Structure 1
Amino acid sequence: MRPPRPAALLTALLVPVVLLLAGCSSSGAAPVSGSAPTSTAAIAQPPVVVAVTDPGAEPRVVLGRSTPTGTTQLVQLGTTSQVLQTVGPDPQQDLSTPDLTLPLTATVPADGAVALTLGTPTASDPILSGALAPAEGSTAGLTVRTSGAVDELRITPAAGLDDAARAAVEQGLRQAVQLAPVLPSDPVGTGAVWTTTQVIDSLGLQIDQVTTTTLTAVAGSTLTLTLAITQTPETATWTLPDGGGTLNVDAYPVTGSGTLTVDTAQPLPTAGTLRLGGDQVYSDPGSALRLRQSVRSTVTWTS
């Protein structure tokens, strides 16, 4: 008979874990029935620190966004999230969420604000895709700085949306916001390099996310950015939510990269893909039992 599993690892199994998505949950289960009441979720975003390490070639200019009030943009956001998990000698579990496509209409109602209206979302899973149909007309809002840094994300789902569909939309928007490109306040030119640092909370584990951005091309208000991302836990111990105990963080090599096209006269990226991934290992401090995760995530923008 297999000995009982330590409580900490059991809790880790019960709490859906996608450490690439700060504070977001995911599950491989089928959508649940029933709809949640319509309400607005306001999600504060961690502050960012930007430092220019290479100002690039002359001429150098300040690249801040300048989106006039009344600007409208049509863009499609695609997200994926794959989580493969193994606990001790047990078979691997697939806790991935279906691929998601969110058609968005972005408008600028006022300086520092972006309003989003959702078209009809689709998912790679037909059951979830059907549940997402009532999401058309859902709205969201961003409080955005001139640099592009997001201070707050607000999501108001359409009435009649069930819990699984609501969670999928929220996860997709959070995923995009967490990886939103940020521009420096210093003048820069082609070839410039800067770092963006922020501390994200992932189910109680504090993670330093550092994004190194290179300005590879400038054409009028259109910028081509190449990004490299690293995520590093601030501590070697993860205190699980709801008194679930602790896990040792034995390995956490999460990295990412990609290219984005940004028009500083538009509120959202116009094109590009970012990918994150890593193979993580956690262990219960009171036993030799280990929790292994292979995590992969993508964010894609298409105009």
Structure 2
Amino acid sequence: MGVTVPHRDATDPPRSSTPRRRTVVALAVLPLSATIALTGCSSDDSGGTSDSGPCAESSSVDRAGVRPIPVSAATVTVVDPGSGTPQPLTPAPDTARAQKVTLTTDSLEASIAPDAQNKQQVQRTQQNLTTPITARVACDDPSNLEFTIGTPTTLDDALTPELGAISGSAGGVTFAPGLNPQMLRLLPNDDSSSPARSAVEQSFTGAFDQSIPLPTEPVGVGARWESVRTIASAATIRRTTTVTLKARVGSVLTLAVTVDETPVDSVFRIPGSAQTLTIDRYAMSGSGEVTVDLTKMLPTGGKIVTKGARQLSGDAGAPPLLQQNEYTVSWSPAAP
């Protein structure tokens, strides 16, 4: 979400309108990746591969050089306990076999801003990544998941050649009760490039920000709960996810999901700058369905699509800028 408008402090000297318009356009078309402070990798070590057994004999939590990536904490509140006999939704990770799943994230963005002739300019960008994952719960610690990524694929022809070297990189996730992710770890291979590392990190952090924690109290079918996260980026937003337990068959849960986002304040921080903008309008919402198997740590299927727009303004009298966004995260069984 990279729409930016130059903001001039009251102490700055006056500027002519034409140069300022050009700056507006240059900043307005920043891609989504420019608005998120990414490390590009979370470890100085070579990623290597995680354990190849049915569960992970070691965890990357204490590996030297690991720089964990925090996941915004979610608060879960049950608003309707559902019907029938309440049952706990307690994860019971399977240590006898690995989980193979594919994560796809897709971000579409349209930035609309005036050019030097004050005509509307539209720039569209897309960031897409599909990553096969082999995940193993730690043998002696079910709160930690270790994973190895296969070769990611993308619709971006320029990024495609960069992705082969990151195949086989390792990572991990630490969960709180209720499959509530707390900390992500990525350990990219030494020979992987910065563009590949950044793409993988954006994809994984975006997916876990959209994750669906479960209540820790027993509920029945039809139960509804809210998950609330505050996510800080260029804008700080509060994401409220409402989840309904549509069905339960053994350990498999079918969850209906709706998402609503609101800004915590009106401040938009221009990436790489001390300047700020004003959020005049903001609307972002979405829906989807996710399948969770309580014997697995990652979703086994499903998709959530979130769409919206925001209007930003800077200097008094400068034309506002509009940004339209669509973000999709989906999980599917890995191809054999």
CA distance 1:23–1:65, shift in 2 (3 Å)? farther
Question: Given the alignment, which residue of 184, 198, 205 partners 1:167?
Answer: 198
Amino acid at match of 2:198: A
Question: Given the alignment, which residue of 209, 212, 215 partners 1:181?
Answer: 212
Deviation at 1:127, TM superposition (A): 3.0
Matches of residues 171-250 of structure 1 in structure 2 within 5 Å?
171-203=202-234, 205-250=235-280
Deviation at 1:37, TM superposition (A): 8.1
Deviation at 1:146, TM superposition (A): 2.4
CA distance 1:129–1:100, shift in 2 (3 Å)? same
CA distance in 2, matches of 1:155, 1:162: 14
Question: Counterpart in 1 of 2:77?
Answer: 51
Q: Which has the larger radius of gyration?
A: 2
CA distance in 1, matches of 2:177, 2:95: 13
Tell me if structure 2 keeps the 8 A contact 1:246–1:285: no
Question: Given the alignment, which residue of 139, 156, 160 partners 1:129?
Answer: 160
Q: Secondary structure at the match of 2:163?
A: helix
TM-score computed with the length of structure 1 as normaliser: 0.88
Tell me, yes or no, if structure 1 residue 149 matches structure 2 residue 166: no
Number of matched pairs: 291
CA distance in 1, matches of 2:305, 2:251: 25
Give identity over the alignment, percent.
31
CA distance in 1, matches of 2:84, 2:254: 17
Q: Secondary structure at the match of 2:201?
A: helix
Q: Secondary structure at the match of 1:248?
A: strand
Spell out, residue by residue over 1:143-169, the C-alpha distance to the aligned partner (whole angstroms, 9 max, x if none).
012211111001111121111111111
Amino acid at match of 2:329: V
Amino acid at match of 2:76: V
Question: More deviation in 239-248 or 171-180?
Answer: 239-248
Question: Given the alignment, which residue of 164, 170, 183 partners 1:139?
Answer: 170
Q: Secondary structure at the match of 1:151?
A: strand
Spell out, residue by residue over 1:163-208, the C-alpha distance to the aligned partner (whole angstroms, 9 max, x if none).
11111111111111111111001211100000001110022x2111
Tell me, yes or no, if structure 1 residue 275 matches structure 2 residue 301: no
Superposed CA RMSD in Å reads 2.6
Question: Counterpart in 2 of 1:77?
Answer: 103
Amino acid at match of 2:256: T
Spell out, residue by residue over 1:95-128, the C-alpha distance to the aligned partner (whole angstroms, 9 max, x if none).
322x211000010012200111001111112331
Spell out, residue by residue over 1:55-88, the C-alpha distance to the aligned partner (whole angstroms, 9 max, x if none).
0011111102111445410001111011111123
Spell out, residue by residue over 1:267-296, the C-alpha distance to the aligned partner (whole angstroms, 9 max, x if none).
110011111110211111433321211111
Amino acid at match of 1:66: A
Question: Counterpart in 1 of 2:317?
Answer: 287
Deviation at 1:140, TM superposition (A): 1.1
CA distance in 2, matches of 1:152, 1:7: 40
Q: Secondary structure at the match of 2:221?
A: coil
CA distance 1:15–1:92, shift in 2 (3 Å)? closer
Mark the runs of 5 or more structure 2 residues left unpaired by the alignment.
1-15, 47-64
Deviation at 1:43, TM superposition (A): 0.7
Amino acid at match of 1:54: D
Q: Secondary structure at the match of 2:199?
A: helix
